[in-house]
Amino acid sequence: MAGEEFITSLGLWFVRAFVSSLICLFIGYIGIRIISHVTTEINEFETIKGHPLATSLFVGGFLVYAGLVVYGSMVNPFFLSQSVMIGAYFNLQRLLAVVLSFFVSLLFGWLFYLIFAKLTPFGVDLDDINKNPTAVGVFLFCYEVFLGLIVFASLTLPIG
């Protein structure tokens, strides 16, 4: 009986982490799509198509993002209990923290873009990124790591 209880608990833990990870991965997908619309000076997906290094940087960044999300979801998923009754045990505060962190990442991403593209505090032209697909891949990689760290922090933030 103790073995069955362990297997059941392990299975429920896995399902909780899996569902939390899927929600956060979907949020990441949305974030990448939105940031590509916000950064009007950079043609992310058109530029990296057909360039193996740029594409691998983009995919690698998403793998780092996914790793942070899965780790955060395993440590602190959206579900609080081992119970199968989802309604009473779904952590809406955690989900709200993740969603708010997503919007904060978009706000900061937009602000950083605005500062670098329009105010040019370091005298660099953001349009230069478009000249090299690898540079666009690095840009996407860095945004994905940035978003991953923010979502990871919101998943592991002590709430309540």
Q: What is the maximal distance between C-alpha atoms in the chain?
A: 68
Q: Confidence band (pLDDT; 50, 70, 90) for 15? A: confident
Q: What's the CA gap between 60 and 144, in Å, rounded?
A: 9
Amino acid 159: pLDDT: 76
pLDDT of residue 13: 81
- Global pTM value: 0.84
- pLDDT-based confidence at residue 102 (cuts at 50, 70, 90): very high
> What digits encode the pLDDT tens for the residues 29-83?
999 999 989 888 788 999 999 999 999 999 999 999 999 999 998 888 776 554 4
| Nearest residue to 149 via CA among 33, 35, 58, 69 | 69
Q: Are the CB atoms for 37 and 120 separated by under 8 Å? A: no
pLDDT band at 130 (very low <50, low <70, confident <90, very high): confident
| Residue owning tokens 């956060």 | 24
User: What value does the mean pLDDT of the chain take?
Assistant: 86
C-alpha 117/C-alpha 125 separation (Å) is 7
Q: What digits encode the pLDDT tens for the residues 137-155?
A: 999 999 999 999 999 998 8
